Each structure stands twice: as structure tokens, then as C-alpha cells.
A and B are shown apart, each in its own frame.
Chain A
Amino acid sequence: MKGMFLSKESVVPFIEHLASQQKVFAPNKKVHGSITFEEVNDANDVVLNYARALLSVKKYFLPQRETLLKYKLDDNSFEKQEIEQVNAIFLGVHNYDLQAVLKLDYNFKNNNPEKNYLKRREGAVFVGISYEPDNFHFSQSVGIDPHNTNGFDLFLHKTEEGFVLEVLTKSGEKLLDGFGEISEFQGEYPRNENFNASLYAPQSKLKEVFANSYDNPIWKEMAEKCVGCGTCNLTCPTCFCFNVEDNVGITLKDGSRDRHLDGCMLRGFTEVAGGEIFRDELAGRMRHRIYRKFKYISDITGEPWCVGCGRCTIFCPAGISIVDIVNRLVSDYDKQQVLNEGQMTSVLD
């Protein structure tokens, strides 16, 4: 392939070059003691070799909290809320997180396009980076190999000596204007494709598996372990459900209507006035979450709605693994197929 080469020594100047043009958000460990995307003030704080960020870049386009409108209580008037475009370069994004953004795009672009999300999303430029999968990444199982550059403007493929810089769009090319510390690169770069975790079946088969897993006993078994905290929703880069609430100011004269991200694992998620809760059982809520990732939206788009980042598994305080759940469904389905085809009969017959 043809590309550019960026040596290790040129990484900091490269980041500084980007930051001289636009605001840059990149992985950083100093702010929260854990990898989080933060605005770059010092290029030396950027961490490009990391497993995953605590939260994906979703937080910039669909913030945990945002004000939809501000109102005055005395005359029932309201002020429209200006939505600020996020004109920024997102540096060091792993491709599963960008794929997740593209999935959010689908949700907010189709059937009633939503201005709040789309306007914020419009000015974003993405510089991706390859990564070494740990024991929890399983992105290749959902169709995202570690060098997948789909959606990026620039992409950094890691090599021993530095990075092979792939230019993918005009906006990406423009970012390099005036930056001299890159050389021509001709040849192949090493592709790291060793994943330790994987799903037993591709989406084409999962469609069949999920069509037959609604009553699988695993939902009840997992519900025994699950504490219903919603951490899986909170950390998921493709979760987008939100609630809206009114907050009145301390003078009781005005207030704001705010939305905040919500989670389908939380008990009150489906509660209506009068107290009825339509998914009161944890087992039903867990099934709903997993089905949302592999069936409900996937049946329409043909793609899994999970990007294999492994966050829901790592951060689950009860030790529930999405890979284990899906693989159990696959193997239960396979067993049932063998029995149905009559290749084997139950030993109890």
C-alpha cells in the first residue's frame, strides 16, 4: 500500500501540528487516572497505546446531560437552545468506537432526524489508530478488524518504528498541510489481528440464533447474577436511550428541560404513570439489552449493533460477559439443531 510514515519521534510534533489548527480530543490518563478522551493541552499527555477509553467519543455528540430548552415559569415562555457544533479533531480513536458513532448516526439520521446530535456530529474529524486486542475485545466477530479504516479521515497503523499514516479523505489530507515530518511509505505494514475473545457465529447466523433464543434459560440464570445497575448501558458506545426531566431553578422562576442518558437495564425504564412497569423482571431487561445489540436493529440493518469493545463485560460488577451469553445461545442453538435433525436423540428417549 501507499501511505506516509510517521516516526515515533514525530508523534508529538504531529499532535502539536493538529492542535495548531483545531481543538483536538485524544486519550489521556492524567485527568481521571484512567484512559479518557480529553482536550489536548499538552501533546505529551496524549496516550496512543491504550486498550480502550472509559467512555467512547460518543460523549461529545450525545452528552450524558444536555439542556433541550430553558423556560420561564411566570409567562410560560421558553428559549430555544443553541446547539454548538463540535469542530474538533478526534485523535487516537479505535475503529470499534468510530463504528459505534456511525451506528448512532443511523439512529439520529433516520425517522425524524435529530438536530441536537447531527449538528454536534457534523464538524468532527477522526484520526484513527490501530490497537492490540486484549482479552475482552471481540470486534473482529462483529465485522470490525483492527485495521478497518471505514469512517476515518486519517488512520495510524502501528509498526515497530512508528506509524503508517493512511490518508482517507480530503479533510484528512488538509490536516497534514505544512507538516514536514512525514516520509513516503511504500510496502506492507504488520496487521495485528489476534483476538483472544470471539463470538462463535457471524451476524448471518446470529440472526437465526436470536430468532430461537427468546425463551433460553440463560436470561433467568444471568438475572440471578445481575444487580441491575445499568453500568453496561452507561459504558456502551452504541447505547443512546435517554430520559428528559425538568429542573427548576432555586428562585422557582425559571428552569431547564434537560435530557440525560438512560439505561434499559434500570427497573424504572419502562415505568408509566400509575406504577406499571412493563419489563419488571431483570431477565426480561437483560434479554431486551442483548436483543437490541444483536436482533432488533440488526434485523433491519443486517449489522450487529454491538462493536465488540468489551466495556460492558469489563465494567460489570457481577462478572457477566456478553461474549459468554452470545456463545451460550449459539451453542444451545447448535445442540437443538443436531437434535432436531435426528442425527442424535436424547439419551433419555
Chain B
Amino acid sequence: MIKTKNGELKELYYPTISEITKIEKFTDKEKWFEIRLPNGDDLQHQPGQFVEVSLFGIGEAPISVTSSPTKKGAFELCVRETGMLTEVMHRMESGDKIGIRGPFGQGYDIDAMKGKDILIIGGGIGIVPLRSLINYVIDNRQDFGKLIICYGAKTPDELLYPEELKRWEKDDNIEFHLTVDQGDENWSGNVGVITTLIPGLKLDLKNTIAAVTGPPIMYKFVLLSLQSKGLPDENVYMSLERRMKCGVGKCGHCQINHSYVCQDGPVYHYPTLKTMEEAI
């Protein structure tokens, strides 16, 4: 018979009721939310982890944390309006209550990244989880080598974090490359898909760790470009999207082969991902 150790077990499915403290609209589809846990507790997440956002009467959805753990007192999410829960979230206001479970999953392997040059490659909304890593590196600048950021969006209207992009652009400690698939009359920067940025990069191949996140279609082309550049696969980390319904490795929805994305991911080391069928 089963005995539960030490009496009561940890509750897995109860959200912590938190408060939205700030909202900013980035684009027609994306909004940024600052969320405060009760008592201003820290979320205690790793860059790359996610939370389950819970709205009573609607349900729960997994959302990447976009702020760095170096930010104290509150954390941030950036949400595209794309399903039932996110549509409701987009109608919410500062001061509204929101349920949070988590953080869940594995984030970036910060220890493996320390002392290395960090190459960020973010396509579209893929920049959202990467921003937690970017800001972590910026706030712990002495622990890392170069910080190279490549960010691509479909059009200038779809670029996220407009104020921060300007700061990254100006920062002498950041090599920042921006591109859009299609420009407009005001756009004077790069035009082309994100892979067009890669051949021009000067990389210290052995000493560079790449963190890549974007739509599934982007991975194949970015990985090919990085490989032809000579970057070893061991130096690449990627983040996957799946239906992470429970976040605690129980419901089965996010499973890819042996792996539960909510437990072993969403950030994976590329050599691990290569051995998994149907992952990318």
C-alpha cells in the first residue's frame, strides 16, 4: 500500500493569486504585463522557465517569463493574443487579479554559459523567453563574454520591447543586430529573414553559446546556418513550445518521446533535442 511521506504532500494544482501591476501594449497582438506575487515575493525562476497563468472561469495556459530573476519584487510576461486565455488577459487592467503556478521546467544552463560569449537568436515572439536571459546577462555582465543579440520580426510594427531595443542598440557592451522580413517607408535597417544575419557574425566558435528561440520553421534554417558557420552543436540551446497543461509532468500533453517538455524543457540542449524524433 502507498504511504505518503511526512503526511501532507505539496499541492500541485492550486494557483497563487497575484496582481497585475503594469501593462504596456507593444503591438496589435502583444502586451506586456508586470505581475506581483503576494507580499512582493520573488518568483525565484531561472531564465527560460515558464509559469501557468490561471484565470478562473477560463483555465490555465503556459506562458514564458520574460523578466530576469535579477528583477526583484515583480516579474513580467509578454503575451500574444492567440487563444481564449490570452484574449481575456488582453482585456485585463492594472490592479486585476491573476493566478500563477510555477515556475516550471528547465531554463538555460547558466553555469555552462558563464565566461562564454552569448549569442541570442530570437525570431518573432521567440524573443520573449530570451529576454529573461538577455537581461540576466546584462545584469551580471562581468560573468559573461560578448553579448550578441540577433532579433528578427516580420515587420517593424511587430517588434517587441521598443524602448529596450533602443538601449541594446546604444549599449557598447552589446552587439545588436535587428532585421525585419518586410520593411516599411520609415524602416532603414536590415531587411531579410533572421538567417541573413548569421553569415556576417564574427564568432569565437569554441567560446560561444547560442540560445535560439523562434517559430518551428525557423529552427531548421538557423541551425543549418550555425552549423555552416562552424558552431558546434554542443554550444546550442533551444526552447520548445508544447501544450504544457499541468506543468508538473503528470497530464501527458507535452510529451515528446521520453521527455516531458514541462519537466526537461522548455529549454533543451541541442544535442539532446537531436536524439528526439518529432521535436523540431
The answer, yes or no, to whether A270 is at the interface (CB within 8 Å) is yes
Residues of A within 8 A of B253 (CB): 241, 243, 262, 269-270
The answer, yes or no, to whether A346 is at the interface (CB within 8 Å) is no
A112, A273, A291: the one within 8 Å of B248 (CB): A112
- Give the Cβ gap from B45 to chain A, nearest Cβ, in Å: 17
Task: Given A73-B56, A241-B252, A284-B278, verify A300-B258 contact (CB < 8 Å).
Answer: yes
Give Cα distance in the complex from A109 to B59, angstroms. 25
A246–B57 touching, CB < 8 Å: yes
Task: Given A76-B97, A112-B248, verify A274-B263 contact (CB < 8 Å).
Answer: no
Residues of B within 8 A of A109 (CB): 2
How many A-B pairs have beta carbons closer than 8 Å: the answer is 127
The answer, yes or no, to whether A78 is at the interface (CB within 8 Å) is yes
Give Cα distance in the complex from A78 to B253, angstroms. 25
Closest to A273 in B: B83
Stretch at the interface among A3-11, A114-122, A140-148, A155-163: A114-122
The answer, yes or no, to whether B1 is at the interface (CB within 8 Å) is yes
Closest to A113 in B: B9
Residues of B within 8 A of A273 (CB): 61, 82-86
Residues of B within 8 A of A122 (CB): 1-4
B242–A214 touching, CB < 8 Å: no
The answer, yes or no, to whether A207 is at the interface (CB within 8 Å) is no
A124–B278 touching, CB < 8 Å: no
Residues of B within 8 A of A76 (CB): 17, 56, 97, 99
Closest to B250 in A: A114
> Which residues of A approach B to under 8 Å, CB–CB?
68-69, 71-73, 76-78, 80, 105, 107-109, 111-116, 118-119, 121-122, 124-125, 171, 214, 240-246, 248, 255, 257, 259, 262, 264, 269-274, 276, 278-279, 284, 288, 291-292, 296, 299-300
A69, A124, A243, A276: the one within 8 Å of B14 (CB): A69
- Give the Cβ gap from A213 to chain B, nearest Cβ, in Å: 11
**Secondary structure type dominating chain A contacts:** mixed
The answer, yes or no, to whether B192 is at the interface (CB within 8 Å) is no
Task: Given A105-B2, A273-B82, verify A78-B278 contact (CB < 8 Å).
Answer: no
Contact with A along B1-44 (1 / 0, CB 8 A): 11110001111111101000000000000000000000000000
Residues of B within 8 A of A262 (CB): 251-253
The answer, yes or no, to whether B231 is at the interface (CB within 8 Å) is no
**Secondary structure type dominating chain B contacts:** loop
Give Cα distance in the complex from A109 to B85, angstroms. 31
B250–A108 touching, CB < 8 Å: yes
Give Cα distance in the complex from A40 to B18, angstroms. 47
Task: Given A76-B17, A262-B252, A296-B255, verify A244-B246 contact (CB < 8 Å).
Answer: yes
Task: Given A118-B4, A119-B4, A171-B1, verify A241-B251 contact (CB < 8 Å).
Answer: yes
Give Cα distance in the complex from A124 to B243, angstroms. 33
Give Cα distance in the complex from A171 to B3, angstroms. 14
Residues of B within 8 A of A296 (CB): 255, 257-258
B10–A278 touching, CB < 8 Å: no
A-B contact pairs, 14 of them (CB 8 A): A73-B56, A77-B17, A78-B17, A105-B2, A112-B249, A113-B9, A114-B250, A115-B4, A118-B4, A241-B251, A273-B84, A278-B242, A278-B256, A300-B258
Task: Given A113-B4, A273-B83, verify A243-B278 contact (CB < 8 Å).
Answer: no
Known pairs A77-B17, A105-B2, A240-B250 / 5 extra A-B pairs, C-beta < 8 Å: A76-B56, A116-B13, A118-B4, A262-B253, A270-B243
Closest to A111 in B: B249
The answer, yes or no, to whether B241 is at the interface (CB within 8 Å) is yes
Residues of A within 8 A of B243 (CB): 269-272, 278
- Give the Cβ gap from A228 to chain B, nearest Cβ, in Å: 16
Closest to B17 in A: A76
A121–B10 touching, CB < 8 Å: no
The answer, yes or no, to whether B116 is at the interface (CB within 8 Å) is no
A112–B250 touching, CB < 8 Å: yes
A78–B245 touching, CB < 8 Å: no
Closest to B252 in A: A241
- Give the Cβ gap from B206 to chain A, nearest Cβ, in Å: 33
A68, A255, A299: the one within 8 Å of B13 (CB): A68
B2, B3, B12, B83: the one within 8 Å of A274 (CB): B83
Residues of A within 8 A of B117 (CB): none
